[in-house]
Chain A
Amino acid sequence: MIVLVLVLLAALAATPTYAHGFGQRYDLPVPLWLYLAGAGAAVAFSFVVIGFFVRGTPGLHGYSRLNLRRAGRLLAHPALLFPLQATSVALFILIVVAGAVGNQDPRFNVAPTMVWVVWWVGMAYASALVGDLWALLNPWKVLFGWAEALYRLLGAGDELSFRWHYPERLGVWPALLLFLAFAWAELVYPGSATPSRIAAMAVVYSGITWAGMMAFGKHQWLRHGEAFTLVYGLLARFAPTEVLVRDSALCQSCSGECSDQRERCVNCYECFERAAPSARALNLRPYAAGLLHSPKATPSFMALVVMMLATITFDGFTATPLWANIVGTLYPMVTFLGGNAIAGVTTLGLLAFPAIFLAVYLSFSAAMALGSGTSLSVATLARTFIFSLVPIALAYHVSHYLSYLLIQGQLIIPLASDPLGLGWDLLGTAAYKVNISIINARYAWFTAVAAIVTGHIIAVYVAHIVAMRTLEDRKTALRSQYPMLVLMVGYTILSLWIIAQPIVETARKG
């Protein structure tokens, strides 16, 4: 097998490929003892959490919110938000321009680093740990909003859209397909780091997004078709902030179902945009509270969550020796694809992983239904509990990308002075050399394992609360959690296993 892998690596020496869209990784695998300690801790803490529930139901009714009052109104004020949005649009335009006309070496062009490191990884971190910043900064949303404001100003109409009815049956399938295409670009497409390709993909995606907005209305498209709004929005359910609008008349006329039963609308950005600054509020809340209170997902949304979790895991899996073996075994069967054979196999993996994930998840949902004796259907359970898996995926994402963000992220310093790679030095930082010793491997290991174990504990907790709230009584709820616990322990150990694997790098250009 080793011979096969080395032969494969030699074959790949001819084709430069990038995993994670772009950039080098200098990780050392987590040592075995730490992996086992992490797995053991995950299991042990799971029992601790169950212990809390055997006697009581902590956190069942609502969650603590801290209204930031004046500070919140200030932070949510259009006068502050507008410059931030303008900056986001400026960066978007810079990325497209740099990609189109700048230096095509990925190391000297701002587009690959901005897109794959600062945006894709950085924004995911920010969405989960701070709040739904994408809902604020989305350049496609902002630009369309400006066009719509101008349209209104000119008296041409209320909405810049044909206002076609969006068929609810379509759910979020458009977003799911677009996200799958994006995941393919990130994990399979060899040109994902090429600046001109990035610019082209950005332009195509802009076209699709704006066409969708014109067809169905800005917020309708954002809710159903804009992949990143949904993905970052999902991660933001973990975040400790939320926005609130105190204007029931406004919320009632909203096109989404944004009314929180007890109070006003929470995290409805359509209402937020239309609300007067004095009606806007910003709350602090505990981490994962948003996941605790997510209503049952629609089938298409559940599929999107599964797709997201699976692609995050697949990303790490593609760097393992086991995957290299799988590719080596399947390679002879796809030689007819020529130079695209590896891409072909990886595409198959990218499609197989979510399918396997879904099958496993549904099996465990069935086990939950059978084991608990509930009268709720397997589908209902599956759609309700899917959000409790998000902390595990998030924790893996954080640990997998931490050194990448800290090392590759430093490239933004010289790139800020020379974004197009034409020899400029706008800020005097063009000669900055990346400091690879910024994060010590031991520190990265402990942080990674701690993050994954913490994510696991939070996931077990969330699932227990959701069970208490959804199932008929306490006994049924607790019984339903045994299969779920096995699933979560399995998922967590898979995540730990991946970070403990020696990393198999494919050959790339200097």
Chain B
Amino acid sequence: MTKILNHRGVLLLIGLLLIGVTASACSKTESQTLSFDLEITQGKLTLNPPVIKVNQGDRATLKIRSDKEGLFHLHGYDLEVEVAPGKVADLSFTAKATGKFDVELEAESTGKEGVLLGSLEVQPR
């Protein structure tokens, strides 16, 4: 029986892949509780670049101010909170899932199109 790769090559590959996959299970730092002050002006986040960065497992609290009424929507986690001028809206959650999640401001009155504000990035441990 002929083989595609000889035994040593295949074992080396499998070994490397296993190392890689187990490396993915390692965790390093402790979870933190973080607070972010966000301000929305004219349909844009004043945060530059508009990316909220946390690590997996962190507890994040977003304090959101807006110059217009609307619905602040965090995709993926599917969380939302009403924002309005003159008040500070609170959104708290534990960043369990890793990835890049869009943050959108939806206008309740028109109901349809939202404005992409930026994103939440949850880095793995």
User: Chain A residues in contact with chain B, CB under 8 A?
Assistant: 9-10, 13-14, 16, 24, 26-28, 41, 48, 52, 58-64, 286-289, 403, 433, 436-437, 440-443, 445-447, 449-450, 454, 457-458, 461, 503, 505, 507, 509-510
- Contact of A510 (CB < 8 Å), options: B3, B23, B73: B73
The answer for the CA separation of A447 and B16 in the assembled complex, in Å, is 12
The residue that A436 contacts in the complex, of B9, B23, B77, with Cβ under 8 A, is: B77
Report whether A436 and B76 are in contact in the complex, using a CB–CB cutoff of 8 Å: yes
B20 within 8 A of partner (CB): yes
| A41 partner residues in chain B, CB cutoff 8 A | 16
> Would you call B101 and A461 a contact (CB within 8 A)?
no
List chain A residues, Cβ under 8 A from B98: 28, 437, 440-442
Query: A residues within 8 A CB of B9?
Result: 48, 52
In the complex, the answer to whether A61 meets B21 with C-beta atoms within 8 Å is: no
Whether A14 lies near B100 (C-beta < 8 A) is no
Closest approach, in angstroms, between the C-beta of B55 and any C-beta of chain A?
A: 11
Q: Provide the bound-state CA to CA distance between A510 and B104, in Å.
A: 8
Beta-carbon contact of A441 and B124 below 8 Å: yes
Residues of B within 8 A of A24 (CB): 75-76, 102
CB pair A442 B24 closer than 8 Å: yes
Let me know if B13 and A454 touch, CB within 8 A: yes
Binds A, one of B30-38, B58-66, B83-91, B111-119: B111-119
Q: How far is the CA of A59 from the CA of B100 in the complex (A)?
A: 44
Knowing A9-B116, A24-B76, A436-B99, say if A442 contacts B3 (CB, 8 Å): no
Q: Kindly identify which residue among A16, A26, A59 contacts B3, using a CB–CB cutoff of 8 Å.
A: A59
Chain B contact-residue range equals 35 or more
Residue in B76, B104, B124 whose beta carbon sits within 8 Å of that of A440 in the complex: B124
CA distance A16 to B43 in the complex (A): 17
- Chain A residues near B4 (CB, 8 Å)? 58-59, 63, 286-289, 458, 461
Contacts of B125 in A (CB 8 A): 442
Some 25 contacts from A to B, beta carbons below 8 A apart, are A13-B114, A24-B75, A28-B122, A52-B5, A58-B3, A59-B2, A60-B2, A286-B4, A441-B99, A441-B122, A441-B123, A441-B124, A446-B21, A447-B21, A450-B16, A450-B17, A454-B17, A458-B4, A461-B4, A461-B5, A505-B119, A507-B113, A509-B112, A509-B114, A510-B104
B121 → chain A closest CB, angstroms: 7
On whether the beta carbons of A58 and B2 are closer than 8 Å, the reply is yes
Q: Provide the bound-state CA to CA distance between A310 and B14, in Å.
A: 30
How far, in Å, is B83 (CB) from chain A's closest CB? 15
In the bound complex, how far is the Cα of B95 from the Cα of A460, in angstroms?
A: 41
Smallest CB gap from A45: residue in B: B13
Inter-subunit contact B124/A52 (CB<8 Å): no
Known: A64-B1, A443-B24. A503 touches B112 (CB 8 A): no
> Across the interface, do A446 and B24 meet the contact criterion of CB distance under 8 Å?
yes
Q: Which of A10, A16, A62, A440 contacts B24 (CB 8 A)?
A: A440
CA distance A454 to B25 in the complex (A): 21
Q: Are B113 and A13 in contact (CB under 8 A)?
A: yes
Closest 9 CB pairs of A and B: A26-B99, A437-B97, A441-B98, A442-B124, A446-B20, A442-B24, A64-B1, A436-B97, A507-B116
Write out the residue numbers on chain B whose beta carbons fall within 8 Å of the beta carbon of A289: 4
Query: Which residues on the A side are within 8 Å of B96 (C-beta)?
Result: 437
The yes or no answer to B106 lying at the interface (CB within 8 A) is yes
